[in-house]
Amino acid sequence: MRRSLSRIWAIFKARNYEFFRDRSSLGWSLLFPFLVVYGFSFAFSGDSQKLAKFAVVAPSDAEALLKAPPVGGIPHVDRVAYPNVEAALAKLRRHQVDIVVDPASKPLRYWISESSPKGFIAEKLLRDAAIEHDGLGHAVLPLERAAVEGREIRYVDWLMPGLLGMNMMFAALFGVGYVIVRYRKNGVLKRLKATPVRPFEFLVAQVLSRLYVIVATTAIVFVGTNFLLKFNVMGSYWLLLLILVLGALALISVGLLIAARVKSEELAGGVLNLLSWPMMFLSGVWFSLEGANPIMRNLAKVLPLTHANDAARLVMNEGATFVQVLPQLVTLAGITVVCLALGSWIFRWD
The two most distant CA atoms of the chain are separated, in Å, by: 88
Contact 154, 314 (CB under 8 A): no
Q: What is the bridge-based pairing of β-strands 108-113 and 99-102? A: antiparallel
Q: Name the domain count of the chain.
A: 2
Do 100 and 117 belong to one domain?
Answer: yes
Which of 59-63, 152-156, 164-168, 323-327 shows the lowest mean pLDDT across its residues? 152-156
Query: Of 210, 201, 204, 208, which is closest to residue 179 (Cα–Cα)?
Result: 210
Q: What is the bridge-based pairing of β-strands 52-57 and 99-102? A: parallel
- Write the pLDDT tens digit of every residue in 6-50: 777 777 777 776 766 766 666 666 666 666 666 655 545 554 567
CA-CA distance, 243 to 326, in Å (whole number)? 10
Domain boundary among the residues 92, 116, 148 is at 148
Helix (H, G, I), strand (E, B) or coil at 104: coil
Domain boundary among the residues 148, 181, 215 is at 148
Domain boundary among the residues 97, 129, 148 is at 148
Q: What confidence category does residue 111 fall into, taking pLDDT thresholds of 50, 70 and 90?
A: very high
Q: Is the pTM of this model over 0.85?
A: no
pLDDT at 239: 95
Contact 79, 115 (CB under 8 A): no
Query: Of 151, 47, 147, 156, which is closest to residue 93 (Cα–Cα)?
Result: 151
Do 102 and 141 belong to one domain?
Answer: yes
Which of 18-22, 86-90, 218-222, 224-228 shows the lowest mean pLDDT across its residues? 18-22
Q: CATH no. for residue 134?
A: 3.40.190
Query: Of 330, 181, 344, 170, which is closest to residue 257 (Cα–Cα)?
Result: 344
Do 223 and 342 belong to one domain?
Answer: yes
- Write the pLDDT tens digit of every residue in 182-203: 888 888 888 888 788 787 788 8
Do 242 and 334 belong to one domain?
Answer: yes
DSSP string, 242-282: HHHHHHHHHHHHHHHHHHTT---HHHHHHHHHHHHHHHHHH
CA-CA distance, 102 to 16, in Å (whole number)? 56
Give the pLDDT mean for 237-249.
94
Mean pLDDT estimate for the chain: 81
Do 79 and 32 belong to one domain?
Answer: no
pLDDT at 198: 80
Question: What domain range is 180 assigned to?
Answer: 2-43+155-346
Do 142 and 162 belong to one domain?
Answer: no
